[in-house]
């Protein structure tokens, strides 16, 4: 809780122009332009957080569904195809993926959205599938003996026991998305990448530091929030592992 409180306070300070300007001046000394002028700090954080949350939610749905499908078909071409497709998407550099998507989807948030989904799916898919594959066979035999159907066994027993693997994949995806979303500013997606790109192109270290520092704190906060959320659910009996 202490860690979360510190991160919340720091993120709050970075979202207020007055205190953010003081932090940047403390780190850089006097600067002609301290804060990125085209959008308020809190608006950049909101844009970035909304994009990361939406893309991670879609990736969680697709990755979990793909892992369940592959788990239900062990040793088949379907499983190999899903794993190969996910690995292929992960090997394409984000900038190259965006460059290929722009002629089809245009500039803006749409190509960035689907690029982030593509990069976030694989960790969730592999984490969920590995957790499901590692379940002891005896659990399945007991569930069959109790009369559970295939879907009842999956929903009530196997997926709850796979929560640690899903959590690990989800955490990795969120970290990837927070970092990769900054590149989306080159395609007009907004977010914390805007001051970073502006800082590089205009040689304004204060802009660059504003975007990088805020994105780093946002990533730490997201990691804490996920850990706290899963541990809270575990303590209150929502799942047992």
Q: Give dist(CA 241, CA 231) in Å, integer.
A: 11
Q: 82 in a domain, yes or no?
A: yes
Instruction: Write the DSSP string, 184-218.
Output: GGGGT--TTHHHHHHHHHHT-HHHHHHHHHHHHHH
Q: 197 in a domain, yes or no?
A: no
Q: 151 in a domain, yes or no?
A: yes
Q: 204 in a domain, yes or no?
A: no
Q: 21 in a domain, yes or no?
A: no
What total number of domains does the chain contain?
Answer: 1
Q: 196 in a domain, yes or no?
A: no
Per-residue pLDDT of the chain (241 residues; tens, 9 = 90+): 677 788 888 999 899 888 898 888 888 887 678 889 888 999 999 999 999 999 999 999 999 998 888 888 776 677 778 777 777 777 777 777 777 777 787 777 788 888 888 888 888 998 998 888 888 877 777 777 777 777 888 888 888 888 888 898 999 999 989 988 898 888 878 889 999 999 998 888 899 999 999 999 999 999 888 888 776 556 655 544 4
CATH number at residue 140: 1.10.3720.10
């Amino acid at each position: 809780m202490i860690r979360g409180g510190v991160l919340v306070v720091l993120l709050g300070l970075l979202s207020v122009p007055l205190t953010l300007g003081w932090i940047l001046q403390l780190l850089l000394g006097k600067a002609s332009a301290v804060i990125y002028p085209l959008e308020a700090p809190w608006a950049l954080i909101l844009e970035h957080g909304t994009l990361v949350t939406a893309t991670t939610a879609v990736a969680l749905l697709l990755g979990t569904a793909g892992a369940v499908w592959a788990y239900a078909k062990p040793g088949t071409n379907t499983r190999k195809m899903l794993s190969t497709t996910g690995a292929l998407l992960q090997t394409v550099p984000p900038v190259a993926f965006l460059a290929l998507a722009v002629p089809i989807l245009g500039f803006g948030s749409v190509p960035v959205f689907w690029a982030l989904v593509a990069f976030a799916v694989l960790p969730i898919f592999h984490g969920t599938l590995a957790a499901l594959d590692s379940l002891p066979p005896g659990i399945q035999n007991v569930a069959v003996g109790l009369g559970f159907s295939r879907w009842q066994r999956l929903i009530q027993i196997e997926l709850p026991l796979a929560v640690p693997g899903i959590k690990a994949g989800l955490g990795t995806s969120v970290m990837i998305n927070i970092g990769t979303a900054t590149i989306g500013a080159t395609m007009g997606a907004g977010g914390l990448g805007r001051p970073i790109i502006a800082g590089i192109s205009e040689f304004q270290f204060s802009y660059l530091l504003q975007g990088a520092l805020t994105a780093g704190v946002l990533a730490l906060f997201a990691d804490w929030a996920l850990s706290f959320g899963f541990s809270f659910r575990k303590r209150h009996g929502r799942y047992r592992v």
